[in-house]
A and B are shown apart, each in its own frame.
Chain A
Amino acid sequence: MRPGSYRAEKKKFHFSTVVIYMILIVWGAGTIFPFLWVVLNSFKESSEVLSSSFSLPVNATLENYQNAFERLNVLQAYKNSLIISGSVTIGVMLLSSMMSFALTRYEFKGKKLLMSMIVASLMFPVFSTIIPVFKMIVSLKLLNTNLAVILPQIAGNLSFATIVMIGFLKSVPIEMEEAAYMEGANVYQVFGKIIVPICKASLSTVAIFSFLWSYNDLFVQKIMIRDNTKFPVSTLLEEISSKYGTDFGLMAASVTLIVFPVLIVYIMLQKNIIKGLTAGAVKG
């Protein structure tokens, strides 16, 4: 190869790399920009947001945040959401590991039926069950309680979680369990001391998607919790948007407040979260 042509090729390579980086950076900027914009504007007075939303705040103010905490009960909403999503996560982890344990370790009548029940229920969108579930919640007088959201959300995530867990547990050899049994452990000890620790990785996948789906969901929250003193974060945000739609500063501050904890967790656990949300989805 002549030196000249080599140089030309190298240059071309560089040029295409630059273009690739430019495209990626533009998309990345487009992804981050809305969030930066909203954070920036949460420190401005509403009138300033209306007139100059692109500039840095002239008089940076925390007023919007004060408003959010005083008028809107953001802390209470966080608490409700944490209780709801935390319970959903624990419930789904517990029930799905138990079911997947039974389905991969035991032979029993109706095993096939149970398995197809689990798979088939993936085809039920939340819309198809919500009216009778709502009716049940109303007759049990559970409306406006956290349980009204927790129970259907556990059921909604359970099948999916069980399938993810089965996929993993199937590949775990049972020698260790047999050995523990020889040493005198019973089934419950085997489950608690061997199965659960072995499943840590897939359990964290399950935990991540159960928690995020539950935390981010508006539909079930909106139907089950109508009392605005009991709102979790999604319904609170929706109320802000319909009630205080003209107070731009307040809206920007509330979006920031809701996004911020998720951002922190995301930065800390990004690898697990990305894996958890995509691996889970593909398997289902």
Chain B
Amino acid sequence: MLYKKKSPLLVFVIPGLLFLTIFLYLPFLENIKNSCFDMTSIVKMPGSDWKYIGADNYQKLLTDKDLMVAIANSFKMMFLTVVFEVGIGFVLAILVMNIKKGQQIFRTIFFFPIVISATAIGLLFKLFYNFNGGMLNQILLGMGHEPVNWLNPQLAFVMVSIPTLWSYVGFYFVILLTGLSDISDDIYEAAEIDGCSKLKQVGYITIPLMKSVLATCVTLAVTGALKIFDLPWVIVPNGAPQGLTHFLGTYMYQVTFGMNNYDYGSVLAIVIVVMGVLISKAVGVLTAEKKERRV
């Protein structure tokens, strides 16, 4: 009865709907349209028109070497996030499940970097990596070695990955720990009585039961890796050195707002969306298949 009269609906739905339409849907569609025009400036100047260029920008994708680097780096990062963020998070969660005192403290500490902005973490690691008197080089000097340029072309990608991976382990740790605590103790006790070692319990009980939580984590990690921007931008702005550390997000930013190439930037944005959709589909298929095979 209360909800028979529909007029209040307008009040409740319209404001949110307007936000979604004006700031998400229309821009999303306009972005697709923009990708086929030669945007000479961000706002159309009176008198000048943007020329329709069709799929020119899309052809440009195929020969864009920097883009290939960015895509390769993004894929590498996805792989690393799954192995290290989810992997280390899982190991830590299993370890914490096996202790009695201090669970809460470890949770608090491990999660802490998540609430700190990637910008601050980037700045912090810049202090570590600095050639002149950065922390790492101080250690090297102390041991009598020559200082190293940590952000050189060979090392830069690794050096950007370390803080990225390190700062997010706690996130998956907490999700997995929550999942682990849902597994009933009875199962483990029964296994113990049957003489199943702790390690075997992980393989035969924990992992199969955690499959869906692990799948969620992998999806989150992979789609998250596609979106990274802040941290690499602070440590190695503009994909320094020589665009070698570009990720899809940083490359899109540089093209769009660094070089003011708005239309090609729009195309890159579409590439990110398409890859995001395809990859989360792929992860879905892969994890679902595994589930069936087990059962």
Contacts and interface: CB of A to CB of B under 8 A. Distances in A.
Interface of A: 16-17, 20-21, 23-24, 27-28, 30-32, 34-35, 37-38, 41, 49-54, 95-96, 98-99, 101-102, 105-108, 114, 117-118, 121, 123-136, 138-139, 151-152, 154-156, 158-159, 162, 174, 177-178, 181, 187-188, 190-191, 212, 215-219, 222-223, 233-234, 237-238, 240-242, 245-246, 248, 251-252, 254-255, 258-259, 262-263, 266-267, 270, 273-274, 277-278, 281-282
Contacts of A270: 108, 111
A159 B229 contact: no
Given A133-B27, A219-B229, A274-B174, A248 B127 contact: yes
B113 A131 contact: no
A225 B166 CA distance: 29
B119 A237 contact: yes
Contacts of B249: 127, 219
Contact of A158 (B20, B120, B121): B20
Given A106-B9, A234-B117, A255-B124, A131 B269 contact: yes
Interface of B: 1-3, 5-6, 8-9, 11-13, 15-17, 19-20, 22-28, 30-31, 34, 42-43, 88, 92, 95-96, 98-99, 102, 105-128, 130, 132-133, 135, 138, 166, 169-171, 174-175, 178, 198, 216, 220, 226-227, 229-230, 233-234, 237, 248-249, 252-253, 256-257, 262, 265-266, 268-270, 272-273, 276-277, 280
A37 B171 CA distance: 23
* Centre residue among B24, B95, B128, B166 by max chain A CB count within 10 A: B24
Given A28-B110, A216-B117, 18 more contacts: A20-B99, A34-B125, A106-B3, A118-B20, A124-B273, A125-B273, A128-B270, A130-B256, A151-B23, A159-B24, A178-B1, A187-B5, A218-B117, A219-B229, A234-B230, A246-B132, A263-B112, A277-B114
Contacts of A102: 9, 12-13
A181 B2 CA distance: 6
A125 B110 contact: no
Contact of A37 (B13, B112, B135, B270): B135
A128 B1 contact: no
Given A135-B43, A159-B20, A219 B99 contact: no
A127 B27 contact: no
B109 A28 contact: yes
A106 B269 CA distance: 36
Contacts of A23: 92, 95
List the 10 shortest-distance A-B pairs measured between CB atoms, nearest first.
A50-B133, A155-B23, A216-B117, A132-B27, A129-B27, A102-B12, A181-B2, A99-B16, A132-B30, A218-B230
Contacts of A238: 119, 233-234
A154 B226 CA distance: 22
Contact of A155 (B19, B237, B262): B19
Main secondary structure of the interface of B (DSSP, over half): helix
A255 B120 contact: yes
A105 B2 CA distance: 9
A96 to B, nearest CB: 7
Contact of B135 (A32, A53, A217): A53
A281 B233 CA distance: 24
A178 B244 CA distance: 62
Contacts of A255: 120, 123-124, 127
Contact of B109 (A31, A178, A273): A31
Contacts of B138: 50-54
Contacts of A38: 124, 127
B82 to A, nearest CB: 16
A222 B2 CA distance: 46
Contacts of A162: 16
A241 B126 contact: yes
Contacts of A212: 115
A121 B27 CA distance: 12
Nearest to A279: B178
A243 B98 CA distance: 48
A217 B24 CA distance: 18
A200 to B, nearest CB: 19
Nearest to A188: B8
A123 B13 contact: no
B204 to A, nearest CB: 19
Contacts of B127: 38, 41, 49, 248, 251-252, 255
B16 A95 contact: yes
Contacts of B257: 222-223
Contact of B132 (A24, A50, A274): A50
9 contacts: A34-B124, A101-B12, A123-B273, A123-B276, A128-B272, A129-B23, A178-B2, A187-B5, A266-B115
